[in-house]
Amino acid sequence: MDLMQNVFEALDSLTSNKLRSGLTVLGIVIGVGAVIAMLAIGRGAQETITGSISSIGTNLLFVARGGSEEVRNPKPLTLDDAQAIADPFAAPSVVGVAPLLTGTVEVSYAGESTFTMGMGVTPDYSFVRNVELQEGEFISESHLLGRAAVVILGPDVAEKLFGRSEGVVGETVRIEGQPFRVIGVTVPKGGSGFNNEDDRLLVPLSTAQVRLLRRSQGRVDMIIVQAISAEAVPSAQDEIAAVLRARHRTPIGEDDFTIFTQQDFLDTARTITSVLTIFLGGIAAISLLVGGIGIMNIMLVSVTERTREIGLRKAVGARKRDILIQFLIESSLLSLAGGLIGIALGWGLSMAVGMIAAANNADLNPRVSLDAVLLATIFSAAVGLFFGLYPAKRAADLEPVEALRYE
């Protein structure tokens, strides 16, 4: 008996019980569709997060307080530290330094209020972070020296307060109950979560120190450093570490500061999202397992129903191998059909999630990859073979005489 004849007979057997076969295929369809959709969503989330981090800049370093566990009382970062890092003789690979303070603040205008990220910055922040304004001017040295009550709003903050992001320069808003004059609005950049540059406000660092975030004189929360180029980041990191070790007088291996690079953030984000994607795919694969159990159940029922048929085939010369192959082909066809329909379902679910995300202004674009499709398809075929093997073997092991006697 050739392979094509086996396939045609398997199709004839499966189509004779359309409802039962359809319900069996449904388990595989849901499993394959869920696996493809979950992997696509996970990969889309990974690209969104890594893209957001990459948009920060490939030549930036972030210096924060705290480092080695052996250091019990790490010294805070200060403006003097930032000035020392900016010294071209001490750190020749550095071209820009921007100390900053951060904290959540309440800003209000005419009865409208919102909580947002408040940042105390210096004029150098504009150069280091490449800040663009759609109107107004950036914070200047005179604002910094005079502790001026001026603020630059992100477009999202302006929209929440004024219902628009244009024509708001000169207006007065209240930050933590204190009046501040709006001197600029940044250009929309998009983003979400911690990297949403549109949902924040900027004030002079000196003003934030004494009026809003209230840090001790000279203390800063973070220092952003710009290297000459992406290739110069490692040397800049070494130079910054040497400057701070000398200033803080810390022994080698007991740094009381931490220097993060973009690569550190990318590696961490990729690790987290990869684990999340595997976790989601694993959960979805459980439904494939359930679908495989369904195939085994139906094939066992089919063996029982067709016991006399199996006995008759053996009586007229069918070999044990022929019966085994026949039932394996039937289970494989069920899983293959479910896999093909599941691919379409997974693609459709991914597109639906992408449209829902776009409608809610969420930066998520699920991406169905070829490897995910192949993985789900091969896995579904393997499920069919694995769970069809026992019923097929049971059918092949039937004795002709006993099978013919079966009622």
Average pLDDT (311-315) is: 67
In the predicted model, what is the mean pLDDT of the chain? 79
According to DSSP H, which parts of 95-192 are helical? 124-128, 141-145, 155-162
Contacts with 140 (C-beta within 8 Å, 6 or more apart), sequence order: 123
Q: Say if residue 366 is in the same domain as residue 344.
A: yes
Apex 31 CA angle, 28 and 32, nearest 5: 85
Apex 169 CA angle, 166 and 174, nearest 5: 110
- C-alpha atoms less than 13 angstroms from C-alpha of 287 in its C-beta half-sphere: 22
Q: What is the pLDDT of residues 56-71, one digit of tens each?
A: 666 888 888 876 666 6
Query: With pLDDT > 70 as the criterion, what percentage of the chain qualifies?
Result: 80
pLDDT of 304 higher than 90: no
End-of-domain residue from the set 255, 283, 301: 255
- Does residue 61 lie in a domain region? no
Q: Say if residue 33 is in the same domain as residue 148.
A: no
DSSP run (H or E) holding 96: strand 94-109
pLDDT of 401 higher than 60: no
End-of-domain residue from the set 221, 255, 289: 255
Q: Say if residue 295 is in the same domain as residue 397.
A: yes
**Confidence category of residue 173, pLDDT binned at 50, 70, 90:** very high
**Confidence category of residue 190, pLDDT binned at 50, 70, 90:** low
Q: Say if residue 240 is in the same domain as residue 367.
A: no
- Does residue 217 lie in a domain region? yes
- Does residue 36 lie in a domain region? yes
Q: What is the pLDDT of residues 331-370, one digit of tens each?
A: 777 778 888 888 888 888 888 888 887 777 777 778 887 8
Q: What is the pLDDT of residue 237?
A: 86
- Does residue 191 lie in a domain region? yes
**Confidence category of residue 310, pLDDT binned at 50, 70, 90:** low
Of 21-25, 168-172, 176-180, minimum mean pLDDT range: 21-25
Asked whether 257 and 64 are in contact (CB, 8 A), the reply is yes
* CB environment 289-309: b (16+ within 10 A), e (fewer): eebbebbbebbbebbeebbeb
Separation of first and last alpha carbons in the chain: 27
| Number of independent structural domains in the chain | 2
Q: Say if residue 152 is in the same domain as residue 235.
A: yes
| DSSP codes of every residue in 190-258 | ---GGG-TTSEEEEEHHHIIIIIS-PPTTEESEEEEEESSSTTHHHHHHHHHHHHHHHHTPPTT--SEE
* CA-wise closest residue to 166 among 153, 180, 150: 153
DSSP code of 186?
E
Distance CA 356, CA 331 (A): 37
Distance CA 50, CA 267 (A): 9
CB count within 10 Å of CB 358 equals 12
* CA-wise closest residue to 221 among 66, 397, 52: 66
Strands 60-65 and 257-261: antiparallel
End-of-domain residue from the set 228, 255, 282: 255
More confident residue, 325 or 307: 325
Q: What is the pLDDT of residues 365-396, one digit of tens each?
A: 788 878 777 777 777 777 777 777 766 676 66
Q: Which domain holds residue 375?
A: 3-53+267-405
Contacts with 201 (C-beta within 8 Å, 6 or more apart), sequence order: 105, 107, 116, 117, 118, 119, 151, 152, 153, 154, 157, 175
Average pLDDT (219-243) is: 87
pTM passes above 0.75: no
Q: Say if residue 172 is in the same domain as residue 107.
A: yes
Q: What is the pLDDT of residues 133-148, one digit of tens each?
A: 999 999 999 999 988 9
**Confidence category of residue 306, pLDDT binned at 50, 70, 90:** low
Q: Say if residue 13 is in the same domain as residue 143.
A: no
Q: What is the pLDDT of residue 153?
A: 93
- Does residue 60 lie in a domain region? no
